[in-house]
Homo-oligomer: A and B are copies of this chain.
């Protein structure tokens, strides 16, 4: 529970750099205004960021009579971060410059049978080999990896990946041995990386109390307070998908009944549709979801009813989150939001007021992720960036004191 001035510097550094990434080029003065920090504080931080090679001066602007102000931008020619999105059927690896622009990318497909840790690591290694050959001498500042399931962040261990039947796999250690990188590896699950991605590159930037709802095969909520991911006591905060909205409801794969995920997870959505229409079972999960979206668009009764039912349960679940957490912003993310969002989100919004209390309902802006970016990989890379910035506290400011 100790709070130190180092914590504050890092938090403020994140705020400044996020604004710089969003609005570059810009000046210290504007950054101060946007972040509500003093110009002196911003200047100190910028000095350190420049020293660390993260920010560069890119020119000057007229300041209306006074001395021309320096224009700052992320150092897009500097080092890169690597974000890896590992799912059950693929490994997506993306390389980001310091403006969080994708500069390289490799996709590896995995067979369902390839579910041992060494097999997954081999795919990551193969992707890394390809991008390293193209990066040449450019420095890698850090590597972030998103793994499905529960992840012990401190120890870099995959605590439990249900679909692979992994238990306590020392993934970070194994991956480090295979890759022989000189930079740190950060491990987390998609719920957490997407939320970090929203803090750095999405609508979540600058939001004091943020909830990111990830609607996909699994369902969860990333929470962030004061610009920082809220992990809870054991990095399992945000298991909103496994909060109960009906103890007599359908079986959930977590073992309990009537969890939100048992109503609005992708398999549950498609199961409900299949009860009303035989097409749901015919194809892959994503194809079936696209078929549902198309059927809804065409006004088919079974699709309309399925969407309404899912929207009703989603409204009850989101209302619970609003009433308990009272966030400033809720961002909808995850592949189901992408595929079915046009149908689902408006129906959900119509039903929300019947469940949520007035004050938190009014307070919460609702947004849908509008960026055509892989937020899982981006967030994993942002974890690596946050790790790199942590060096500020040892390197940067010491020199000035």
Contacts and interface: CB of A to CB of B under 8 A. Distances in A.
A232 B7 contact: no
Interface in A236-255: 236-240, 242-255
A164 B143 CA distance: 54
Given A209-B232, A236-B323, A249-B250, 7 more contacts: A8-B8, A232-B327, A233-B363, A234-B359, A237-B325, A237-B360, A246-B248
B327 A233 contact: yes
Contacts of A230: 225
A159 interface: yes
Contacts of A325: 232, 237, 324
Nearest to A253: B275
Interface string A263-276: 00001000110011
Nearest to A241: B323
A87 to B, nearest CB: 16
Contacts of A257: 309
A386 interface: no
A327 B354 CA distance: 29
B247 A245 contact: yes
Shortest 4 CB-CB contacts between residues of A and residues of B: A232-B326, A237-B326, A251-B272, A243-B320
Nearest to A320: B243
A275 B248 contact: no
Contact of A236 (B207, B319, B355, B360): B360
